[in-house]
Amino acid sequence: MSEREVLELLRENARYSAADIARMTDLEEREVEAAIEELEAAGLVRGYQAVVDWDRLEDERVRAEVELNVRLDRETGYDDIAERLARFPQVKALRLVSGDYDFDMEVEGDSIREVSQFISEKVAPVPEITQTVTHYVMTSYKENGIELGDGEDDDRLSFSP
């Protein structure tokens, strides 16, 4: 049995039952249950979450991608900064990246003001952070591999000369 196969199916749909996965992999249901328990115990499966299309809710939910540049010193490394930032509940994802900036941080809040205040009052003052660039998410078309929206075709008017 391939752990990767079970992981891929769980990523595709975390609501698959052990019986569903067993049918798809030609494994016994108890083998699938044992495999999932082992993956969870080993920390490979860290949780299960719903993919939410926030644009369909009437309540405002503001999301932003924040680029962070940092300056390291002898006592402070990337892991130290990441550990400090990851503790904030507003931080939904934090990644060390290559390129023009050091960290990519996903932040959520109830309003633009809340997100802006979080960044200016909690993130920017971290001594090692030298620059923040905030990009507010206007619309999400795909999250965690799942297409969002109403599923209808392109509603732009066609043009022909």
- Is pLDDT above 70 for 156? no
Domain assignment of residue 128, given as a range: 62-143
What integer pLDDT is reported at residue 87 of this predicted model? 97
What integer pLDDT is reported at residue 133 of this predicted model? 97
Q: Do 104 and 136 reside in the same domain of the chain?
A: yes
Q: Do 76 and 124 reside in the same domain of the chain?
A: yes
- The CATH number covering residue 24 comes to 1.10.10
Please give the share of the chain, as a percent, with pLDDT higher than 90: 48
Q: How far apart are CA 134 and CA 66, in angstroms?
A: 4
What integer pLDDT is reported at residue 1 of this predicted model? 54
- Is pLDDT above 80 for 49? no
| 117 inside domain | yes
> How many domains does the chain fold into?
2
Q: How far apart are CA 143 and CA 145, in angstroms?
A: 5
| 52 inside domain | no
Q: Do 125 and 71 reside in the same domain of the chain?
A: yes
Q: Do 28 and 68 reside in the same domain of the chain?
A: no
Q: Do 79 and 128 reside in the same domain of the chain?
A: yes
- The CATH number covering residue 69 comes to 3.30.70.920
- Is pLDDT above 60 for 158? no
| 49 inside domain | no
| 97 inside domain | yes
Q: Do 84 and 138 reside in the same domain of the chain?
A: yes
Q: Do 116 and 70 reside in the same domain of the chain?
A: yes
| 161 inside domain | no
Q: How far apart are CA 31 and CA 101, in angstroms?
A: 44
Q: Do 66 and 114 reside in the same domain of the chain?
A: yes
- Is pLDDT above 70 for 159? no
Q: Do 17 and 82 reside in the same domain of the chain?
A: no
Helix, strand, coil shares of the chain, percent, nearest 5, are 35, 20, 45
Which of 41-55, 96-110, 139-153: highest mean pLDDT?
96-110
pLDDT one-digit tens code per residue, 9-33: 888 888 899 999 998 988 889 988 8
| 56 inside domain | no
Provide the terminal-to-terminal Cα distance of the chain, rounded to the nearest Å: 57
Nearest to 20 by CA among 6, 35, 34: 6
β-strands 129-136, 62-70 pairing: antiparallel
What integer pLDDT is reported at residue 142 of this predicted model? 84
Q: Do 67 and 110 reside in the same domain of the chain?
A: yes
Q: What is the model's pTM?
A: 0.70
pLDDT one-digit tens code per residue, 107-148: 999 999 999 999 999 999 999 999 999 999 988 888 877 788
